[in-house]
């Protein structure tokens, strides 16, 4: 048994994953954490699976850089994908990151987010009405994916009849971030960035001509900049709007989808939450920990760094495995157990440190409202066939989940 586990860790290659891994990566993550927590991959990069090592890397932005210019240049050339990813705040270091983040955090203020709750409840209840009329439904398309696209659309005040292409653009751009991509995924990603830019140029021009209320409309706020006169350049504005739209789509869809599937597979926890709806906050945190929708992060060392007895030279590419760290027994007692009341639960689903998710308050609100309203309406829902996985390692979720309301 131990030999098998060691062999699983020894043979792990992020560029050659097996179908079993996509279905359930956690035995592999455990084998790595226990045997080779700082795993050197065949391509020379390192794969980190221990909670404490991830925290060290996330907190030390000086040694562990997020700047992806070196890494993305061979992968994307001088394409639009390269321009997009290297302009997004998530793939930059201070001082560029600090400046852009301050402006974005200012726009995603608690007030702007609180303002969204009423519309969000209305949207969720409307979707639940359509599901009630059907009885057999598909959890992702009919519900989980329909929520974030509208929420982010509202955030930037994109007119309703112009929202349809947003989800496909977002999937194509994020899909091109997978560790290995073929020519089709590359071409799709590039076209999506171009189409998105063309669309946003028009939207921004319209908003400049007719500004919205900066307390509610994040786009108006980003165009206007902050009270000190600090503003994003046009290129920063457009690419970071694309990033905001992307960052909030697939991740939140997967939180809702993964959460409702996890509950259906853990009937006692489902009954507990139905009996104690006030537990929704800790339940959402556990869903984020147990099946983190964003499983991998990346950094590059820019100086010699000591980690777990090893010294990594500058220029070492590092993958931070959030999915593995969130099941590290050194941090979470009985980590394979899904416990909706788990406290404390300092998971890394939103990372930590300077790049910690700027949209986490919004994601938590969406998750809590989507899941609690769904359960209140369809407490007896059940799966009605096999869920289909998204087939991605970075973003973990389902493409489709056939369900019945049993109402």
List interacting residues with ligand HEM (CB under 6 A): 66, 89-90, 101, 104, 152, 244, 247-248, 251-252, 255, 293-294, 297, 349-351, 355, 357-359, 362-363
- Residue 290, SS3 per DSSP: helix
d(C-alpha 220, C-alpha 225), whole Å: 9
**Smallest gap from residue 380 Cβ to ligand HEM (A):** 26
31 vs 365 by CB, closer to ligand HEM: 365
Q: Which residue is nearest to ligand HEM (CB)?
A: 359
First to last CA, the chain: 45
**Smallest gap from residue 94 Cβ to ligand HEM (A):** 10
9 vs 364 by CB, closer to ligand HEM: 364
d(C-alpha 372, C-alpha 355), whole Å: 29
d(C-alpha 155, C-alpha 167), whole Å: 15
For Cα atoms 88, 227, 210, give the angle at the middle one, nearest 5 degrees. Answer: 75
Both structure tokens of 234: 């046009």
300 vs 358 by CB, closer to ligand HEM: 358
31 vs 237 by CB, closer to ligand HEM: 237
d(C-alpha 303, C-alpha 313), whole Å: 6
**Smallest gap from residue 404 Cβ to ligand HEM (A):** 26
204 vs 365 by CB, closer to ligand HEM: 365
Strand locations in 93-170 (E):
136-138
d(C-alpha 233, C-alpha 239), whole Å: 10
9 vs 332 by CB, closer to ligand HEM: 332
**Smallest gap from residue 57 Cβ to ligand HEM (A):** 10
DSSP 210: S
**Smallest gap from residue 115 Cβ to ligand HEM (A):** 14
d(C-alpha 142, C-alpha 120), whole Å: 15
**Smallest gap from residue 112 Cβ to ligand HEM (A):** 10
**Smallest gap from residue 177 Cβ to ligand HEM (A):** 11
d(C-alpha 115, C-alpha 157), whole Å: 13
381 vs 395 by CB, closer to ligand HEM: 395
Which residue is associated with the tokens 């909030």? Answer: 248
């Amino acid at each position: 048994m131990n030999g098998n586990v060691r062999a699983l860790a020894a043979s792990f290659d992020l560029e050659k994953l097996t179908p079993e891994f996509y279905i359930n990566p956690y035995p592999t993550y455990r084998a790595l954490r226990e045997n080779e927590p700082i795993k050197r991959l065949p391509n020379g990069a390192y794969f980190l699976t221990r909670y404490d090592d991830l925290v060290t890397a996330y907190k030390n932005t000086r040694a562990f850089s997020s700047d992806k210019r070196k890494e993305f240049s061979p992968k994307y050339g001088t394409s639009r994908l390269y321009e997009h990813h290297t302009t997004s705040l998530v793939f930059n270091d201070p001082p560029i990151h600090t400046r852009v983040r301050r402006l974005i955090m200012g726009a995603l203020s608690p007030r702007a987010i609180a303002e969204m709750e009423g519309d969000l409840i209305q949207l969720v209840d409307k979707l639940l009405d359509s599901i009630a009329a059907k009885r057999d439904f598909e959890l992702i398309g009919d519900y989980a994916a329909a929520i974030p696209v509208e929420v982010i659309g509202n955030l930037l005040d994109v007119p309703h009849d112009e929202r349809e292409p947003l989800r496909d653009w977002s999937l194509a751009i994020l899909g091109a971030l997978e560790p290995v991509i073929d020519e089709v995924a590359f071409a799709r990603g590039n076209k999506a960035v171009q189409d998105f830019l063309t669309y946003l140029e028009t939207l921004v021009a319209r908003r400049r001509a007719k500004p919205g209320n900066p307390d509610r409309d994040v786009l108006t706020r980003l165009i206007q900049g902050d009270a000190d006169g600090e503003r994003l350049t046009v290129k920063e504005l457009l690419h970071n709007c694309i990033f905001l739209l992307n960052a909030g789509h697939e991740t939140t869809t997967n939180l809702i989808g993964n959460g409702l599937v996890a509950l259906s597979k853990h009937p006692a926890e489902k009954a507990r939450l139905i009996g104690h709806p006030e537990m929704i906050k800790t339940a959402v945190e556990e869903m984020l920990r147990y099946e983190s929708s964003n499983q991998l992060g990346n950094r590059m060392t820019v100086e010699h760094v000591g980690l777990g007895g090893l010294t990594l030279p500058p220029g070492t590419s590092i993958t931070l495995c959030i999915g593995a760290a969130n099941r590290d027994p050194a941090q979470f007692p009985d980590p394979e157990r899904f416990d909706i009341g788990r406290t404390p639960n300092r998971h890394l689903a939103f990372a930590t440190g300077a790049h910690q998710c700027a949209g986490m308050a919004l994601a938590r609100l969406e998750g809590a409202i989507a899941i609690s309203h769904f359960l209140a309406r369809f407490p007896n829902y059940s799966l009605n066939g096999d869920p289909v996985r998204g087939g991605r390692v970075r973003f973990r979720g389902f493409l489709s989940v056939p369900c019945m309301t049993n109402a």
